[in-house]
Structure 1
């Protein structure tokens, strides 16, 4: 056997056999695990019921046997006391034989003189231990030869003139105890049966939520992020299910966010890559009339900016929204550094205006950089004249406006609709910019359609 086969055998063959799909194998594995769990719950409940019954029934059975024996001894003693009252002062030579009462159930009565000799009745010819004990002036009892024996003195103190001995079969208390034990056994069997029924129901009730949780986890494992655990009525399982649902929702949001960002970025950056490629090919084709190295340097700079954009997008797609203070001055400085030269080359000025007192704002520097890059790039591609970026306060919230002197946005066009690219590859699209702003807890909207269109970004406030 190979080392891998031995390891597989040692771990219980956790991998699916040949010809069996992983889904079916996982389903059967979960079914076996659920059945094992139900059996464990059933065994534990039945064992608890049986232990409880035994701990209650055994002492009770012993106590019942002792009680029946004490009852029998007490009855024998009462009989002996009744006989002792009728014992004459002279046991021998009185002329009239002493009459003993009739008894039932094998009870025997005997009277002994002070010499422990049998005078009348049924008993040993010479008094035994209980008789000798009664001679000392106290009633005594014992079990001799399978019989319960009670001896009672006649007289008191030093005037003991006779002893009455009464005996019966020692099996009578046992017979009564056996009947009681049988009744207790029936009740115990009934209790165990009820315990089994309760255990079966409880095992199903406890196992079903766990099976549902396992099934939901299995669906999540296969990539079904829409799977959710339904309420079961079991608080502990519902708490675990709620945590699983929250984790699934968070993973779903992160995955959707990453997919959306990746799709939009690839769609928009493909145009930029195509433009850069055409620029390089044109420069190479015109090698006799122009120096291609300038175009190559410009293309390399564009590629570096696109690489930085992709890095920011991937980081934003994977991370949770940031709630750190937003450095507005640094953002505006980056906008000026990034766009001043390109706009100046086209004869269009870039104006950065900042109010004296700005309210606090929170968010991600990466997201802010990308949003402003989109808005300024959109103005550069579709607008005219000067581009103005202004940071101001409105109703206690930081607002950043980006406007130009163009004709504006047509009424029938949604500027934030997906795949509404800017055509020349700048930026990553207004749709993704709005998605970034929404994720950061702010708002992005077209505050003035035109002429002189203006986009306004309301940045999330601290504690908002």
Structure 2
């Protein structure tokens, strides 16, 4: 592209120089020739007037007197009636410019000048025109190179940006070039980069959340299946299979919940449900894991509390808190329920060392973890709680107490707009 821009600009300049340069040469040549002819004729008229004044003044007219009046390289012949012709200077050879004038006393003056003087003047003019044309070409080439760089460099940058987007590097460059059309393309590429970055972040977040949230249900399910393989009692097999089917349903709900939150984290289908059912379900699922490490998990507090939310989401939040206590806490884990105002609260606490002081409220940030863990569980739990209109908070650091706050008032029913009700 740079070469084509330079070639096109240079071609335009050369065409302009050719058209106007040739015209200028023709005009200047004619002007110089006409000017030389006028000078010779004026010289002849001047000599004629000098001869007239000498004749009228009874002076002598000779070659020495005329030689002092004649310009170099010119040749003059004065013919006075009744006298011998007077020649002054050397007669030029070849092509000449001739001027003739007649005086008042009848004398004739002829002045000749070699045309080579005109040729030399025309040559000097052509050299000047050529130098100007050369300077114009050089200036045009420099300007073309500058314009080509101004246009080609941004296009190269934009091509590199597009290639980076295609290779999975969606960082916007925020670079502008002072050319409205190119800046518009750069704006579009930067906007696309930001959208792609958000999409990639959402995809990575979904993958991380899915791997974290599915690990616990799959572990619990595998434990139930192991119980089935180790027993021959039909009643035990039936009981474990029923629990496994329940866990499969929860696993499906987890997947659906993750997909829903990846599209819109505020699309929870809140309903009124019994907290005791969700808490007992979690106790039943986590007791084997706690027994395996010599610890216990219990529940206490107000019973038969009704809360508003999504049972599956609340179960995932509690599972995250219980797993967090299993990994980082110590002693007995207790789930306590209470009421504060119009909210039902589930507190999860243990007898461990608590949350380090340097973490504090950052415990809910992604990738923040007190030990070698993913740091995703509590962040996902808070997102799930907020998607149902609740909130998850750390009420105490030592010993650690996390509180899940859920509304006890059913959400108002959404009515169709007035116009829609009228149509119906």
TM-score over 0.5 for the pair: yes
Supply the distance in 2 between the matched residues of 1:168 and 1:284 (Cα, whole angstroms): 129
Aligned position for 1:446: 393
Aligned runs of 1:424-443 on 2, under 5 Å?
429-434=377-382
Residue of structure 1 equivalent to 2:37: 73
- 1:297–1:55 distance in 2 versus 1, CA, 3 Å: farther
> Contact conserved, 1:374 with 1:429, CA < 8 A, in 2?
no
Q: TM-score, normalised by structure 2?
A: 0.58
Instruction: Show the 5 A alignment for 1:57-456.
Output: 57-85=21-49, 101-102=66-67, 103=70, 104-107=72-75, 147-150=96-99, 166-197=111-142, 199-200=144-145, 203=148, 207-225=152-170, 229=173, 231=175, 244-283=189-228, 286=231, 288-290=233-235, 292=237, 296=241, 299-314=244-259, 316-317=261-262, 331-333=269-271, 336=273, 341-343=277-279, 349-352=304-307, 374-375=316-317, 377=319, 384-386=335-337, 403-404=345-346, 406-407=348-349, 412-413=354-355, 416=364, 429-434=377-382, 446=393, 448-449=395-396, 453-455=402-404
Deviation at 1:41, TM superposition (A): 4.0
* 1:59 shift after superposition: 3.8
CA separation of 1:284/1:97 partners in 2, compared to 1, >3 Å: closer, same or farther? closer
Give the whole-Å Cα distance in 1 for the aligned partners of 2:77 and 2:149. Answer: 64
Give unpaired runs (5+ residues) of structure 1. 1-36, 89-95, 114-118, 123-144, 355-367, 393-400, 422-427, 459-464
Q: Is the 8 A contact 1:108 1:166 kept in 2?
A: yes
Check whether the contact 2:79–2:85 (CA below 8 A) recurs between aligned residues. Answer: yes
Instruction: Report the alpha carbon displacement of residue 182 of structure 1 after superposing the two structures with TM.
Output: 1.1
The match for 1:24 is none
User: Offset at 1:257?
Assistant: 3.3
Structure 2 spans left out of the alignment, 5+ residues: 53-59, 88-93, 284-298, 324-332, 370-375, 408-424
Deviation at 1:276, TM superposition (A): 1.9
Output the CA distance in 2 between the equivalents of 1:411 and 1:239. Answer: 57
C-alpha distance 276-56 of structure 1, shift in aligned 2 (>3 A): same
1:273-323: CA deviation from partner (whole Å, max 9, x where unpaired): 232233245346556431756654654454344335334534654x5x68x
Alignment RMSD (CA, Å) = 5.3
Offset of residue 44 of structure 1: 4.0
CA distance in 2, matches of 1:387, 1:377: 19
C-alpha displacement at 1:172, in angstroms?
Answer: 3.4
Alpha-carbon distance in 2 for matches of 1:247, 1:369: 38
- Given that residues 250 and 312 in structure 2 are in contact (C-alpha distance below 8 angstroms), is that contact kept between their aligned partners in structure 1? no
User: Number of aligned pairs?
Assistant: 346
Superposed displacement of residue 420, structure 1: 10
**Structure 1 residues 291 and 433: CA distance shift in structure 2, 3 A:** closer
DSSP 3-state at the match of 1:105: coil
Deviation readout 1:104-152 (Å, 9 max, x if unpaired)? 4355557799xxxxx9689xxxxxxxxxxxxxxxxxxxxxx95545556
Q: Does 1:40 align with 2:8?
A: no
**1:262 CA displacement:** 0.9
Write the distance in 2 (CA, Å) between the matches of 1:109 and 1:383. Answer: 137
1:75 aligned counterpart, secondary structure = helix
Structure 1 CA distance, aligned partners of 2:320 and 2:239? 25
In 2, the alpha carbon distance for the partners of 1:432 and 1:61 equals 84
CA distance in 1, matches of 2:37, 2:260: 93
1:177 Cα offset (Å) = 1.7
Contact 1:405-1:451 at 8 Å conserved across structures: no
In the other structure, the counterpart of 1:13 is: none
- Cα displacement (A) at 1:192: 3.1
- For residues 273 and 137 of structure 2, what CA distance do their matches in structure 1 show? 83
Task: Give me the whole-angstrom Cα distance separating, in 2, the residues matched to 1:165 and 1:54.
Answer: 40
* 8 Å contact kept, 1:64–1:177: yes
- The secondary structure found in structure 2 opposite 1:412 is coil
Deviation at 1:403, TM superposition (A): 2.0
